[in-house]
Structure 1
Amino acid sequence: MDFTKLLEKLKADIYLIVSDLLIIIIVFAIARFFISQISKFTSRAIEKSKELEDKEQAKSIVTSMTMLRSVIRYVIYFIAIAIILYKLGFGNVMSNLLVTAGIGSLAISFGAQSVIQDVVTGLFLIFERQYAVGDLVKIGEHLGIVTSIAMRVTYLDCKGTKVIIPNGKISEVINYTNTHSMFELTIPVSYKENIREAIDFIKDILNKYYNENKELFIEEPVVFGATNFNVNAVDIYMRGKVVNMKHWQIERELRVIIKEEMDKKGLYIPFTQIVVHNEK
């Protein structure tokens, strides 16, 4: 008789264990389902933002969607853990939420302060709009394009290399993405050349380039003239306000054009030479 009761009790216990396991699996499945739906929603929003003419608004949408995806993922897992604790017999859901938060506080005291710092810094980065997805930034020694901003980390594409930077480690950001850029170029000219003729010659080259590529410029560029006496050359300096991120292209093209034109005219670009005397 006692043996029969024991079997019945074991059956009941097994039934409870299996049912709890099934519920836990279902909770995880539901959590994964919601996360996948949020990912699809944010992905669709990001794709639609590419069709917007206002690029700043598009970048803002992409940044918001990547952060939303990260925040909701943490919230869903947080709730799922609380429900699982409840099914395992550890109080009710609300108390488990508090317990989970308490465990988080305990973790902080044992060295997880950096995690909280990363999350808080990430939120400030978004609210203060220090940078957005798609911006070219320099964070520490890393120069790259922001591909994603999550609650804890920022992802950079540095010439094809994926760099992950904890938000709490970000103390200084240089954002090269703005409404405009400035191109600057210094051309060295030999002391033996007529400096006024050299300046006028470079002005003509710059004006011709400007007239042929006005879509790259916001304002007409200026040659400021001789700005420095170097060891073996006089520096001729030019500068101009250009379309955002086009300054590197303009500088590269102008260097080639000016070098070719100076070669045609016979203007000498000085360079450092070493003379070796062989005394016997």
Structure 2
Amino acid sequence: MLSGVRNALEEKGLGFIISIVYIVFVFALAKVLSTVLNRAVKSLIAHRSKAMADDRRGRLETAGTLIASISKYILFFIAFAVSLGELGLGNAMNSMLAAAGIGGIAIGIGAQNLIKDIATGFFILFEDQFSVGDYVAIGDITGTVERIELRTTSVRGYRGELSIIPNGSIGAMTNYSRSDYLAIVDMPVEHGADIQKSMDLMRDEALLYAKDSQSAHGEASVLGIVDVREDSAVLRMILTVRHAEHWQVQRELTKRIKERFEKEGIGLSKHHIRISGD
């Protein structure tokens, strides 16, 4: 039946309509298969990663996104090749590649950047430089890795912005998720306050916090006075915490120490309370 329709249209000079419909169908099928495969990979990873540690879960998610990306490129390449055959350009394309050389054509259309992106993507995966879920700084971009694909890496910033980075452009990179981090809390107490008592209270609050939270590792260290200002002396405390959780720990400890100081009658500067992380 389809052959009859094609022949009838070709007799009227409209055979190209069948070709267009066929090409649209092939690319639509590639899109559907890519979407189904991507969802299947995500479902499998979600099921397998439930009982895994964070680092292994990140590697599994990274492998999943890369598999989905490679599959998508393969499916659309097949669709492109099939479309060329439908248009009758298959033999012409083969002749052109044989005459000019695949390497020369690839360089001529700027595929060296594509090859560089793909090669760097494989090195990122196999060297385990970073994984999905890691908090990284790549150049001027800082955020959480959402996807690692064949050509690009997607990083979600703190404010929600999504940056798409070609893998080949990734040079110096800092991964904040591969080791514990240091939470720093500075408390500016008024001149005349009992410094030793203030330090003891800061340490006590850190110990109480460590009992309630799994973020803290080890005991807090109160370094003492790190700065003297016109209206205050700044006391610093440091605490080792899980990666990417230092801001949360610093905010909570600052709140608890401030409330404890107010309860114990220790005055704070009205101008400076700094929360930072290194």
Q: Tell me, which stretches of 5 or more residues in structure 2 are unaligned?
A: 1-6, 273-278
| Matched pairs, number | 261
Tell me if 1:219 matches 2:184.
no
Q: Secondary structure at the match of 2:244?
A: coil
Letter in structure 2 aligned against 1:117: K
* Structural RMSD (CA): 3.4
For structure 1, which segment, 29-38 or 182-191, has the greater mean C-alpha deviation from structure 2 after superposition? 29-38
1:30 and 1:214 map into 2 onto residues whose CA distance is 50
Q: Taking structure 1 as reference, are residues 33 and 187 closer, same or farther at Cα in structure 2, changes over 3 Å only? A: closer
2:266 and 2:52 map into 1 onto residues whose CA distance is 46
Q: Secondary structure at the match of 1:268?
A: coil
| CA offset digits 1:178-211 (Å, max 9, x no partner) | 353322212222332232333233333333333x
Q: Taking structure 1 as reference, are residues 13 and 35 closer, same or farther at Cα in structure 2, changes over 3 Å only? A: farther
Deviation of 1:26 after TM superposition, in Å, equals: 5.6
Residue in 2 that maps onto 1:278: none
Letter in structure 1 aligned against 2:238: R
1:59-78 correspondence to structure 2 within 5 Å: 59-78=58-77
2:197 and 2:47 map into 1 onto residues whose CA distance is 54
Q: Taking structure 1 as reference, are residues 16 and 256 closer, same or farther at Cα in structure 2, changes over 3 Å only? A: closer
**TM-score normalised to structure 1 length:** 0.75
Q: Is the 8 A contact 2:49 2:60 kept in 1?
A: no
Which structure: larger Rg?
1
Residue in 2 that maps onto 1:81: 80
Q: Taking structure 1 as reference, are residues 95 and 13 closer, same or farther at Cα in structure 2, changes over 3 Å only? A: farther
**TM-score normalised to structure 2 length:** 0.76
Residue in 2 that maps onto 1:3: none
Q: Secondary structure at the match of 1:131?
A: coil
Deviation of 1:263 after TM superposition, in Å, equals: 1.9
Q: Percent identity?
A: 29
1:27 and 1:49 map into 2 onto residues whose CA distance is 33
Deviation of 1:97 after TM superposition, in Å, equals: 10
Q: Is the 8 A contact 2:261 2:267 kept in 1?
A: yes
For structure 1, which segment, 254-263 or 71-80, has the greater mean C-alpha deviation from structure 2 after superposition? 71-80
Residue in 2 that maps onto 1:207: 207
Residue in 2 that maps onto 1:105: 107
Q: Is the 8 A contact 1:82 1:96 kept in 2?
A: no
2:238 and 2:70 map into 1 onto residues whose CA distance is 44
Letter in structure 2 aligned against 1:175: N
Q: Is the 8 A contact 2:69 2:149 kept in 1?
A: yes
1:146-161 correspondence to structure 2 within 5 Å: 146-158=145-157, 159-161=159-161
Deviation of 1:107 after TM superposition, in Å, equals: 0.6
Q: Tell me, which stretches of 5 or more residues in structure 1 are unaligned?
A: 1-7, 274-280
